[in-house]
Structure 1
C-alpha cells in the first residue's frame, strides 16, 4: 500500500479528489434527467391511451347496456327482435373497434398495466354462445344479468386503471368524477333493465331483488351528490335531469315495481304510468346521462393534456437544469483542479530552480571569493495569500535564510583563513629568523656534540616552517619561498627529504636529470616533504623509506614507498578521492581522524595539476605515486638555480645499515 501511494502523484490525487464528486454529481444529474424523461414519456403514453379509449368508451358501454336490457326483456317474454338485433350489431361493432385500441394501450403501458383483463376478453369471446342460449331460453335471468354485468364491470375496472396512472392529483380527481358518472349511468341502466323484468310479471330472486334495491339507491344518491360536486356546466345538466319529469317518472315506476314485488295482498295494482312513457323516460335520462359522461371525459382529456404538457415542461426544465448544474460543477471542478495543479507545478519548478540552480550557484560564487549583494540574491515567490502562497513564502524564507547562512559561513571561513594567514605569516617570520640564526651558529661551531644539537634544532625549525606554510596553504595564500629559474629534480627531492626529521631513514635512488620550473619548486618540495614525513611517521623506526624517480610519457613519476602497516581499502579510497578532487577548506571539512598532511598535499597538487595517488607498496605499506606533468618541467641550460647546501645536506646511509647521527653527518658534509 505505501508503494502504491508513493506512485500516485499530487496531480493524480487532486484530479481524483475533484473528479469523484463531480462525476458522481454528473451521474446523478444524468440519472435525474433520464428519470424525468422516462416519466414524461410515460405521461404521453398514458395520454395516448386515454385519448384512444375515451372515444370508444361511450359506444361500448351504451351498446352492452342495450343488449343486456333487450336480452333480459327477451328472457321475460317481452321480446323486441329488432331492438335486440340492433343492440347486438352495435356491440359487435364496438368490440371490433376496441381490439386495436386495447393492443395499443397495453403496448404503451410498457407492461405496467393491462387495461383489459383476461376475464373481459373471455366474456366477449363467449358472446356467440351466450346469445344462442338467450335465444333458446336456456339461461336464467340471474345468469344473463350477471354475465353482462361482468363485461361492464371489466370496462369500469379498465377505466379505474387508467385513472391510477394520471400525471397529477387534479387530473386524477377530475377523472374520478367522470368515473363516478359512469358508475351512476351503469347503475341507472341496471335499474331500468330490472324494472322492465318486474313490469313483465317476472319475479326477482332474493339476490337479484337486493341488487335491484342497491342499484336504485346508488344512482339516486350518487347523482345529487355529483351535481353538488361537479363543475359547470355538467353540474347544471345533472341538476336539470334530477328535476325533470322523466326523472320523476322513473322514480315512480321503480317505487311501483318495488312495492309490487313486496306486496302481500295478492292484488296487482295498475302501473302509475304507461310502460311506453316509462320506457321513453328511461331512454331519455340514460341518453342525457351518457352525454354528461362523454362531456366529462372530454374535459378530463383536456385537463390531462394540460397536465401532461405541464409535466413534460417541468421534467425538461428540471432534467435540463440538473444536467446543466452537474456539467457546470464538473467544468468548475476541472478548471479549479487544473489551476491548482498549474500553481503547484509552477511552485515546484521555481523551488527546484532555487534549490538546484540558484542556491548552489550562489554558494559556488561565494566560495570562489566573489563579493555578492544578498539583497539581489533574495528570492521572491509570489503565489497569493492562500495555503500555496504560504508554502511559497515559507520556502522563500528558507532560501533567503540559506543564502544568509552561506554568506555568514563564507565570511566566517574568510575570517578563519585570515587568522590562519596572519598566524602563519607571523610564525614564518620568526622561523625564518630562527633558521638564519641557526645557520650562522652552525657555521661557527666546531664541537661535534654542539653541532649535532644545532642540527636537530635546525630540523625542528624547518619542520615548524613547514607547519607555518601549511597554515598559509590552508588559508589560500602562497608560501614565502620562491624560485624564478628551473631547479634540478634531484636537488628538489633531496631538499624535501631534508625537511623530514627521520631523513636518515629515507633512501633516494638516482633521479632523472630533469629540471622543474621555479614557480613550482617550493610547492613541490612541500608536497614531497609531507608524503615523506607520512611515510616515516607511519612505518617502523628501523625500516627504510624508498624514493624513486622515473621518466614516463606524461612527465616524471616520483614514488615514495614505506614498509608500514598500510591503510584499509576504504580509507585509501577516501584518501584518493580527496587527492583527485581536493575539497574546499573549512572547519567542517576535517574530522578528528583527518590527515592534515594529505589535505595540504591535495591542495598543492590541485594548484599545479600534479597527480597524487596512493597504492599498496610491495612490502604491504603505502606507495605514494606523484606524477609531475611535462608542463612543469624545463630543459637544462645555463640559467639554472641551485638550492642552498642547507636544503640538500643528506648523506648516504652507511653500508652497515645503521643510521648515522646528525653529528656524524655534519662531520662529513662540506663546510
Structure 2
C-alpha cells in the first residue's frame, strides 16, 4: 500500500470520527431537550407549590400589616374631616391619639415589608408596589400639616388620605397573582370586598365631616351620591364571586339591622338634596349604624383571608407531592431514555464502524490485492474475495446489504476488466508476434539483397530500407513488451559493450550522426543483450530526432561504483524541471499501463 492510500485512509478515518461525533452529538441533543422539558415542567410545578407556600409568609409580612395600616389611615381620615368640620378640642384630642396609632401602623408596615423573608417571597411587581406605597407614606406629614394649618378643605383632606390608601390596595392586587385558580379567585373577591368597604369608609368619612360642620355643600352632596352608588355596585359585584362560606357571612351582614338602617339613611340624604341646609340625619344616628357596619365588614374580610391562608397550605403540599410523584416518574423516564439512547447509540456506532472498516478493507486492501493478483495472471474467486457481511435487518443492515452488493460488483467488475485487458493484450501480442516474424523475414531478405548488390546507390537504398525495417522490428518488440511478453531476441554468449552500443547505433536511421566514443571492454551477458540494445537504440534515436540535424550525438561509457554508466549526449533543447521530475517519478514508481495515454510509450516500455 503506497503513502497516498495511507493518507487517504487517515483522512477518511478523521471524517468518520467526525461523523460519529455528530451522531453522538445529535443523540445528546435529544437527551438534553428531553431533560430540559422535564426540568421546565418540574420548575413550573414547583413554582406553583412554592408560591402557595409563600402565601402564609406574604399574609403575615404584607397582607396583615397592610390591612392594619389601611384601617388606621381610614380612621385618621374620618377623624381629620370631623376635626375640619367642628374644630372642637375633643375632636383634636381624638385626632392626635389616632395619629399616634397610625404612626405605629406605619412603623410596623415598614419593618415587615422590608424584611428579608418578604423580599425573597415577593414578586418583582409586589416589590414595586411596596416601594410605591412607602413613597406615598412619606407624604402623610404634608397632609397632616395642611389639615392643622387650615390649608385644605374636607374634600382635599379626604383625597390626600385616599391617595395613600389606594397605594395599599395596589399591594393587594399584586398579592392576588397565585397559580391556583380557586385560591386566586377567592383572593380577588376579598380584595373587591375591601375596595367596596374603602368606598363605604370614604362615604362615612364625608358624612362625619358634614355632620360635624352642620351643613352639606353641593360638591359634598355630589361626592356622597357617587360614593353611595359606587359602594353598592361594588358589593353587588363582589357578592356573586364569594365562596359559599363568605357568601353566607356576607348575607347575614347585609340582612342585619345596621346595613338596613344605613341604606335608609343614605336614601334620605340623597332624596333631601342640597341647598346649604342642615342634613336630615344627625351624627348619633349615623355613627351608631355606619361605624359598627364597617367593623362587621372588616371582620368578614379578615375571616375570609384566614380561610384563604388555610386553603393555600394543603394545596401547596398537594402540589409538591404531585411534583414528587410526577417528577420522580419523569426522572425515571428521562434516565431510561438516556440508557436506551446510549445503548442504541453504541450499537449504531458499532454497526457504522463495521461498515466503515469493511469499506476501508475493500477499497485499500482486498480490491487492490485482487487487481494485483489479476495483473499477475492469478485466478480470483469473486465469492471468496467479496464474502457477504451480516449487519442485521434494520436500516443499517439494509445499508450493509447494499454494501455487500457493491463490493461483489466491484470485485466482479475488476475481474472482468482484467480479463478484458488480458484479451486485448493477447490480441496485441499475436499481432506483434506476426509483425515481428514478417519483419525478421524482411530483414533476412534485405540482408541477402545487400550482399548481392554491387552498386553504391542501390546499396544505400537497401540500407535505408533496412533501417526502416529495423525500426518496425523495435515497434513490434515494444508492443510485445507492453503486452507483458519478452521480445524474443537473445544471445547465448556474452557480448562486448562496445558491440552492443554499435548494434544499437546501427538500428538508427541517421546512424551517420552518431559517434561512439572509446569505452571499456566489459561484456554483457547474453540474456540481457537484446533488451539493452533495444533500450539504447530507442534513446539514441530519440537524441537524433530531437536535436538539430547538423549536430553530432556522442555515446560513451565508463565504469561507476555499481557498474557501467552509458552516456548519450545530444544538442537538443532538453526538458523542463517539471517534466524531468515527472519522468523520474514515473521511472521510480512505474504506473500501470494506460491504453488511453498512447502519445509517448517510451517510458512505459
Normalising TM by the smaller chain, what interval?
A: 0.5 to 0.7
Give the Cα–Cα distance (whole angstroms) in 1 for the partners of residues 534 and 333 of structure 2: 83
Match of 1:230, SS state, is coil
Pairs within 5 Å for 1:285-324: 285-302=293-310
- Segments of structure 2 that go 5 or more residues without pairing to the other structure are 1-13
Cα shift readout 1:6-53 (whole Å, capped 9, x = no counterpart): xx9794896899699979979996997899699768887787444423
Q: Residues 575 and 21 of structure 1: is their aligned pair in 2 closer, same or farther, counting only changes over 3 Å?
A: closer
Q: Residues 34 and 157 of structure 1: is their aligned pair in 2 closer, same or farther, counting only changes over 3 Å?
A: farther
Pairs within 5 Å for 1:72-471: 76=86, 79=90, 87-104=98-115, 108-110=122-124, 111-114=127-130, 116=133, 118-123=135-140, 127=144, 130=147, 133=148, 139=150, 143=153, 147=157, 150-151=160-161, 154-168=164-178, 170-189=182-201, 202-216=214-228, 223=235, 229-250=241-262, 280-302=288-310, 351=359, 354-378=362-386, 396=407, 399-400=410-411, 403-404=414-415, 406-420=417-431, 422-423=433-434, 426-427=437-438, 430=441, 438=448, 460=466, 463=470
The offset of 1:389, in angstroms, is: 6.5
Give the Cα–Cα distance (whole angstroms) in 1 for the partners of residues 436 and 206 of structure 2: 145
Q: Is this contact kept in 2: 1:14–1:337, CA < 8 A?
A: no
Cα shift readout 1:562-584 (whole Å, capped 9, x = no counterpart): 7xx64643588888877787777
Give the Cα–Cα distance (whole angstroms) in 1 for the partners of residues 503 and 206 of structure 2: 153
Q: Residues 106 and 209 of structure 1: is their aligned pair in 2 closer, same or farther, counting only changes over 3 Å?
A: farther
Give the Cα–Cα distance (whole angstroms) in 2 for the partners of residues 173 and 225 of structure 1: 13
Give the Cα–Cα distance (whole angstroms) in 1 for the partners of residues 366 and 407 of structure 2: 12
Alignment coverage as a number of residue pairs: 572
Give the Cα–Cα distance (whole angstroms) in 2 for the partners of residues 199 and 581 of structure 1: 123
Cα shift readout 1:205-226 (whole Å, capped 9, x = no counterpart): 3333444455555556655665
Q: Is this contact kept in 2: 1:354–1:399, CA < 8 A?
A: no
Give the Cα–Cα distance (whole angstroms) in 1 for the partners of residues 24 and 123 of structure 2: 42
Cα shift readout 1:567-605 (whole Å, capped 9, x = no counterpart): 6435888888777877776755642xx47xx67xx85xx
More helix as a share of residues: 2
Q: Is this contact kept in 1: 2:367–2:411, CA < 8 A?
A: no
Give the Cα–Cα distance (whole angstroms) in 2 for the partners of residues 230 and 185 of structure 1: 15
Partner of 1:569: 575
Q: Is this contact kept in 2: 1:421–1:475, CA < 8 A?
A: no
Out of 61, 71, 83, the position equivalent to 1:52 is 61
Cα shift readout 1:104-153 (whole Å, capped 9, x = no counterpart): 467845453245163443225765885xx4xxxx759x835753564355
Cα shift readout 1:510-544 (whole Å, capped 9, x = no counterpart): 66554443434455555556667777888999998
The offset of 1:292, in angstroms, is: 0.8
Partner of 2:4: none
Normalised by the length of structure 1, the TM-score is 0.61
Give the Cα–Cα distance (whole angstroms) in 2 for the partners of residues 368 and 307 of structure 1: 87
Greater Cα shift, 531-540 or 354-363: 531-540
Q: Residues 90 and 411 of structure 1: is their aligned pair in 2 closer, same or farther, counting only changes over 3 Å?
A: same
Partner of 2:3: none
- Segments of structure 1 that go 5 or more residues without pairing to the other structure are 1-7, 604-671
Normalised by the length of structure 2, the TM-score is 0.66
The offset of 1:202, in angstroms, is: 1.8
Give the Cα–Cα distance (whole angstroms) in 1 for the partners of residues 543 and 269 of structure 2: 149
Give the Cα–Cα distance (whole angstroms) in 2 for the partners of residues 254 and 539 of structure 1: 134
